[in-house]
Structure 1
């Protein structure tokens, strides 16, 4: 099991309009499943937006300073993956930062330094409000800059850059690897009205009146109901707007590959659904095929 620390960040459900919105964050280097304080907090906290992270160290010591998520003002950030050969790349990253963001970093993890780089691409990281488009553009610039430095330094090992950021209203996350052929670390999402327990330990997503009252993004499905979870395709960026609209599009850089997509087999024929809509259309397409008397199987390629 992974046990190099964990963190939970959330926004207060009752923050007054006069107060500056900033997230609450609880971190620990103990395993999440063995932390009594986490259980006590989870029983009492109500929040419209929660980030949670369990750490397996790839860069930086096992300390609370290196536990995700981090925040800067109202912005919260976490990362699953690792920046390849970060020790070689770190000097370029550090030298690119304004002094305020350089001094902001308290730990040694590549993920926190990537957060500082992301903040440097915002017009004003201390702002009280961010449009989701600005967060998305800063995310794409962060990935592009890391790739540029890796290329300048001759680093060919792929970086795994599953980043997630929020300002408390919008969420931007990315499933990304700096490779045309390899798959990024997994990432899934589920949306609907609520999770319902239908027998002890088993939950399913309920979609009452086809409303989207919640969106859950996770590295692995959190329930046994596979039909409730859709895969975010490799090298795609997802935006959840304040109105819970889900926007998904590919990152069309040097590692973009049109060959990534979904094959639907109907009888002896293969039907290709290209990215970025492959996984989003998967369930709908299979339902339509089956309703017309066909059989459908799928394979991500």
Structure 2
């Protein structure tokens, strides 16, 4: 089971503070992964990748991210360590790979890029070889020919791209467009699996960004099984207080940093919240964080209600250094009952629906992000 990490902040961060310096950095997770569900392959040594966007737009450069990948283990790549010390970015994707499908090659290393979009995946599409032909037939020639590797993950990215009207547009996408594309991708993959008689659950922890907003999922096609781990942290500063040890500082009510990771990078319990299974997370351009339950045939309201309320009421452990204000909560849950477009009959896709903006546990109307009431268009 791979490990992945994403960072979005108002200010660029040195990549080393995410990739190499924390005691449980994503590089260390490549050989010391503690929360993976698949214990048969404890090492994520089948390559790695890191992608980032420029801090300031440059007319000479395209809005596409820069991506560095290698098939060497992340813990043994000197170039990665050198780059991490010299590069800063406000939006970073990082991934260490344990191969479940596809050969060990650079073309199979996450993340992937198409235009200004970047994508990575932790998990697997169950029995993907049985639906691969259906996936390929659903794609335009341009997107089909863009796939260079042979992983289920890159083909899933191709499916997501095919849900966008203009995947190569130069302008940023509205986060709602990326959100709907993600939901339709999950729906299509589930439908193809159902029509092929596949009963094994697929794990689809996806993440996509256009360099401005981010959409990611913690998802498994099961009502009873737990999805691959995914955690959330936010604050005003992410800093080291002694070598290898970091914490998320909450100096005021602003959210200047959001980190989502397969495993926490710090050992501060108050820094991290578990993202519930079968949830979609959106980080907007203004660093608002929205969480939507994914309403489909695998939605389990009773399980989600317990999990959601547990996360939504976490206040953290108050500390004198201001790392966590015990009266402030960063995460809100919203439901969206707008219907997503139903795909034409015959392709096996199902409609996903979801309420207009509501606060989880509405008894507390003070749940806010960035000191402003959460609004969903």
**TM over 0.5: same fold?**
yes
Q: Quick check: 1:216 aligned with 2:253? A: no
2: CA distance between counterparts of 1:234 and 1:285?
Answer: 24
* Correspondence list, 1:117-136, <5 A: 117-128=159-170, 129-136=172-179
TM-score, structure 1 length as denominator? Answer: 0.89
Cα distance, 1:249 vs structure 2? 1.1
Cα distance, 1:284 vs structure 2? 6.3
Q: Quick check: 1:198 aligned with 2:230? A: no
* 1:72 matched residue in structure 2: 114
Contact 2:203–2:228 (CA<8 Å) still a contact in 1? yes
CA separation of 1:220 and 1:38: change in aligned 2, threshold 3 A: same
* 1:279 matched residue in structure 2: 311
Contact 1:258–1:275 (CA<8 Å) still a contact in 2? no
Map Cα deviations across residues 92-135 of structure 1 (whole Å, 9 max, x no partner).
00011011000000000000000000000001101122000000
In structure 1, which of residues 156, 173, 185 is the aligned counterpart of residue 228 of structure 2?
Answer: 185
* 2:300 matched residue in structure 1: 257
Higher-strand-fraction structure: 1
Alpha-carbon RMSD across the aligned residues, in angstroms, is: 1.7
1: CA distance between counterparts of 2:135 and 2:276?
Answer: 28
* 1:150 matched residue in structure 2: 193
Contact 2:270–2:316 (CA<8 Å) still a contact in 1? no
Map Cα deviations across residues 127-179 of structure 1 (whole Å, 9 max, x no partner).
12200000000000000000000110100100000000000000000000000
* 1:25 matched residue in structure 2: 67
Gap regions ≥5 residues in structure 1: 262-272, 289-301
1: CA distance between counterparts of 2:238 and 2:58?
Answer: 29
* 1:264 matched residue in structure 2: none
Cα distance, 1:14 vs structure 2? 2.8
In structure 1, which of residues 73, 94, 99 is the aligned counterpart of residue 136 of structure 2?
Answer: 94
CA separation of 1:282 and 1:209: change in aligned 2, threshold 3 A: closer
TM-score, structure 2 length as denominator? Answer: 0.71
Map Cα deviations across residues 25-59 of structure 1 (whole Å, 9 max, x no partner).
00000011110000110011011100000000000
2: CA distance between counterparts of 1:280 and 1:22?
Answer: 35
In structure 1, which of residues 151, 159, 170 is the aligned counterpart of residue 202 of structure 2?
Answer: 159
1: CA distance between counterparts of 2:56 and 2:87?
Answer: 11
Count how many residue pairs are aligned between Structure 1 and Structure 2: 277
CA separation of 1:123 and 1:275: change in aligned 2, threshold 3 A: farther
Cα distance, 1:209 vs structure 2? 1.5
Q: Quick check: 1:175 aligned with 2:189? A: no
Map Cα deviations across residues 185-222 of structure 1 (whole Å, 9 max, x no partner).
00001000112222222111101112210100000011
2: CA distance between counterparts of 1:221 and 1:118?
Answer: 27
SS in structure 1 of the partner of residue 148 of structure 2: coil
Larger relative CO (CA 8 A, sep 6+): 1 or 2?
A: 2
* 2:27 matched residue in structure 1: none
Range with greater deviation from structure 2 (193-202 or 57-66): 193-202
